[in-house]
Amino acid sequence: MVYYAVFTIFFILLSFYLAFAEEQEAKLPEVVVTGEKIILPTKQTGETVYTGVEITTKGIELSGQKAKTNIYEVISILPGVVFESADANNLATEQTNMRIRGIRGYLGAMTVEGIPNYGGNPIGPRAYIYDVENFESIAVYKGGVPADLGSGIGNRAGAIELRPLWAKENFSFIASQSIGSFEYKRTYLRLDSGKIGPTDTSFSLSYSFTGQDKWKGPGDIGPRNNFNLTFVQPIGKNLEIKLWGNFNEIKHSKYRYLNYNQVRDLDKYYRLDFNESITRTPSIDYLYYEFNREYHKNRDFFASITAKITENIKITLKPYISNEDAKIWDGSPNIQGKPGVQKRTRDIERKGVIGEFAFDLNVIQVSLGYHYEASDMNIYTENYWINPDGSLNYRGFGVLATSGTTYVNSPYLKLAGRIDKFNWQAGIKYFKFEDSATEGYRTDIIGGSPVLQRAPYLDRKAETYDIWLPTAGISYSFNDNMEAYLSYGRNFIRPYAYLPILNLYSRLYDRFVNAGITLNELFQKRGIEQSDNIDIGFRFRKDFIEINPTLFLSKHKNLLTVVTDQRVIDTLTGKPVNYQQNIGKAKGYGFELGTNVFVSDWLIFYLNPTYNHITYDGNITYSGSTRYTDGKQVVDVPKLTVISGLIVKYKDFEVIPQMRYIGKRYGDAEHKEEIPSYAVFDLKLNYVKEKLGMLKAMKISLEFDNIFNKKYVSLINAMDDAVSGTTYGVGAPFTMRGSISFAF
C-alpha cells in the first residue's frame, strides 16, 4: 500500500511537471476559484434532501472512450463504486463486474428518467445498451433509493438514474471517430433538429458503430450498432410530450476465465484463452472460441407526458415497452455425460407504466404514484454434443419451463418539506411481485432422437412476494456552504437466479425424484432479499474545496446463499449437492470521502477513497452441513478502494492522470482463495478548440490505460456466497486510444 501511495504521488507530480514545464511562475491564486463541477449532490423532483450524487457532463467526459458504451465505467469515478471488465474497451457485455458499497450491480436498479432497465439470467440492468453521449448526467443513489425510481426487480445495490440529453432547442450536429489498440474503432453521429416551425417541435437522432479484436485469444468484440432518438413536443404552456427510443445490437466472442491455481501464476496464464481451431478431440474442442460467444439485441421505448394542471399541481404519465433477444453459447466438458455446447436463449418483453400526481402545498410537497409492469421472460437452454469433426449433434432442451406473465404492482407516497434551514422528507413504497406457475418438461432420448416429455416434478406453483419499503431523510444547512444530513432506506431484490437451480435439478432429475424432492420444494425457501441502509454525511463547499465524508451502515437478510443438501449426491463430485437458498445474512459499515479541490482555473484535484467492512453474519448451515463464514468479509469485496487524479489545463490543452487502487479480496466465503490488491494508472490528453471556422468545437484526445502494463485479476465470477467453483477474469494490458470529434 505504501508503494502504491508513493508511486501515485510520483505519477501525479510527473504529469503536473510535463503539463507546466513552461509555466514556472504559476502560483496559487488567493481568490475564490470557479471550476467545472465533476460531481454534484442531487435529489429527485418533489424532494428536499440531497440523498444522491450526480455525475455532470464534465464528469462523464472524464471517463474517456472506454465509458462510451458502458454506464458502469462512468460511475466508477465515485467513492464506493468498483467496476471491472475483462475487455480493454468494456465491450464484452456481461463479462463485467460492478459493486456499489460491496453489493453486486446486478442487484441494483438502473432507470432512464425513472423507467426501469433490467432483464433475466442474469438478473439486473443492461449497462451496455446505451451510448453515454446521449445522456446529460447520471445520478447515483447508494443508500436509500427514492420511491419514484422504477426499481424493476430491486435496488439492493442502490439505483442509477440516466438523465437523457433531450433534443436541443438549437440545431447541432456532432461527429466523432475513434481508433485504438486491438483494432478498436468507433464512429458516433448525432443530429439535433432544433425547434421547428410554430409548433416548437424538436427531435434528435444518433447512431454509433463500435468494434474491435479481443485483446487475447481469437475472436472479435462486435460489431455493435446503436440507434437513439428523442422527440419533444410542447402543447401550449401546460402540456409536454417527450418520446425516447433506443436500439442496441452486438455480437462478440467471450474471454476465457481462469481457475484459482492459474491466477496464482499470471505470468504463465495471463493470456490463456479459448482455442482458435478445432482439434477433432471433443474433450478439448468445447474450448473452441466459436462455441463460446454471445449475441444481444435490446429495444426500449417510452413516452413521458407531463400536464401542469395549476402552478402547484402536476400529473406525469410514463408508458414504456422493452424487448430483449439474447443467445449465449457456452462450451462445457459435460453435457449429458459428454463434451458439448449449451445454447441459452433469452426472449424477454416488458410493458409497464408509471403514473404520478404531485402537488406543492407550500409548506409540504406531496408525490403519489403507481408503477405497474407485466413481463414475459421466456428463458431456456438447448444442448449439443460435439462430434469428432467439430460439428454439433442436437440433444434437445436442457431446461424448458413454460410460464405465464408475471406482474409488478408498486404504489408509493412521498412527503417533503422545509422549515428555515431544516429539510425533511419521508416516503413509503409497496412492492408486490406475482410470479406465475410453470409446467415442467424434460428431454428423453428415444430411438436416438431427443423427445420432449412432460415432467410434473419440474412444475412450480404460482407465488406472490411483497415488501414494504420505507425511506426518510433530514438535513440541516448551516449556511450556503455547509450541510449535514441523515438518510435511511430499505432496499430489496426480488427472487432471482432461477436457471442454476433448474439446470441442477434437470441434470440430477432421477436422484431428486428418488429422494422425493420436487423442484417446487427447492423454490419454497426463495424470497425477497432485504437490506436496511443508513447514511450519515456532511457536505462542505468553500472557495476552492468540496468535501463530502459519509459514514454508511447496512444490515442484510434473506441473502441467496449456497447450501449443501445431504439428501442428494451429485454424480459429478460424489458429494452432497450444492444449490442456493435465501437464508444468508450480512452486516456492514464503511466510510466514503468524496473530495474535489479547485486549486486554480487550471488545476483540479480529486480523491475518492472508500473503506468498506461488510461481513457474513453467522455461519451458513443447511441440511446438516456448516460453512464457517461468520465475521468474514463478503466474497469479492475489498476493504479499501481509492480513485484519484488531476485535471490539469493549459490554454486549450488538458492533462488528466488517474489512479485506481483495489484492495485485497477473496474468491470464496471461507477465505481460502485470496486475490491480491492492485493499482492501475491511466492518462488522458485532450485538446479542445472552441469556435473554429464553421465548427462550434473540435476535440482531439489521446488515452493510455494501464500505462505500466500491470497484470491483475479484474473479475471474480462468483456469487456473494460462493463456496467453490469460482473462476476469474484478468485485466487488459496497456491500451491506447485516439479520437477526434467535431460539433457543428
> How many degrees, rounded to 5, is the angle at CA 398 between CA 255 and CA 570?
85
80's grid cell: 464506493
In CATH, the number for domain 2-21+33-743 is 2.40.170.20
Tell me, rounded to whole angstroms, the distance of Cα 224 from its chain centroid.
19
Q: Are 372 and 430 in contact (CB under 8 A)?
A: no
pLDDT (tens digit, 9 = 90+) per residue, 303-313?
999 999 998 99
d(CA 724, CA 672): 10
Whole-number Cα distances in Å, 7 to 37, 595, 657, 707, 714: 27, 20, 12, 13, 21
pLDDT at residue 35, as a whole number: 55
Q: Are 732 and 716 in contact (CB under 8 A)?
A: no
CB neighbours of 643 closer than 8 A, spacing ≥ 6?
76, 77, 79, 608, 658, 659, 660, 661
CB neighbours of 641 closer than 8 A, spacing ≥ 6?
79, 80, 82, 609, 610, 612, 660, 661, 662, 663
pLDDT at residue 566, as a whole number: 87
- Calculated CA dihedral for residues 205, 129, 492, 641, nearest 10 degrees: -110
> Average pLDDT of the chain?
89
Residue 693 amino acid letter = G
Q: Are 192 and 228 in contact (CB under 8 A)?
A: no
d(CA 577, CA 132): 44
Buried residues in 51-89 as b, exposed as e (16+ CB within 10 A): bbbbbbbebbbbbbbbbbbbbbbbbbbbbbbbbbbbbbb
Q: Are 161 and 111 in contact (CB under 8 A)?
A: yes
d(CA 154, CA 371): 13
> How many degrees, rounded to 5, is the angle at CA 128 between CA 127 and CA 129?
100
Alpha helix (H) ranges present in 368-451? none
d(CA 419, CA 414): 17
The percent of residues in the chain predicted with pLDDT above 90, rounded, is 70
- How would you list the strands of the sheet with 96-100, edge to edge? 81-85, 96-100, 103-104
137's grid cell: 448526467
The position carrying cell 468474514 is 632
d(CA 5, CA 10): 9
Q: Is 172 exposed, middle or buried (0-12, 13-18, 19+ CB in 10 A)?
A: middle
3-state secondary structure of 33: coil
pLDDT at residue 623, as a whole number: 54
CB neighbours of 493 closer than 8 A, spacing ≥ 6?
107, 123, 153, 154, 155, 156, 528, 529
d(CA 232, CA 169): 10
**Could you say which residues of the chain have pLDDT below 50?**
1-34, 720-724
Closest to 276 (Cα-Cα) out of 294, 257, 292: 292
pLDDT at residue 488, as a whole number: 96
DSSP assignment, residue 17? H
Whole-number Cα distances in Å, 75 to 55, 83, 145, 383, 649: 7, 8, 16, 38, 23
> How many degrees, rounded to 5, is the angle at CA 489 between CA 485 and CA 491?
145
Question: Does the N-terminal peptide bond of residue 218 adopt cis geometry, omega within 30 degrees of 0?
Answer: no
Closest to 225 (Cα-Cα) out of 119, 298, 290: 298
pLDDT at residue 249, as a whole number: 98
- How would you list the strands of the sheet with 109-112, edge to edge? 39-42, 52-55, 135-141, 159-164, 109-112, 115-116
d(CA 520, CA 524): 6
pLDDT at residue 45, as a whole number: 86
686's grid cell: 485532450
* Domain residue spans of the chain: 2-21+33-743
d(CA 581, CA 524): 9
For 543-638, list the strands marked E by DSSP. 545-569, 576-600, 603-616, 620-622, 625-627
pLDDT at residue 524, as a whole number: 86
3-state secondary structure of 630: coil
Question: Does the N-terminal peptide bond of residue 470 adopt cis geometry, omega within 30 degrees of 0?
Answer: no
d(CA 547, CA 537): 10
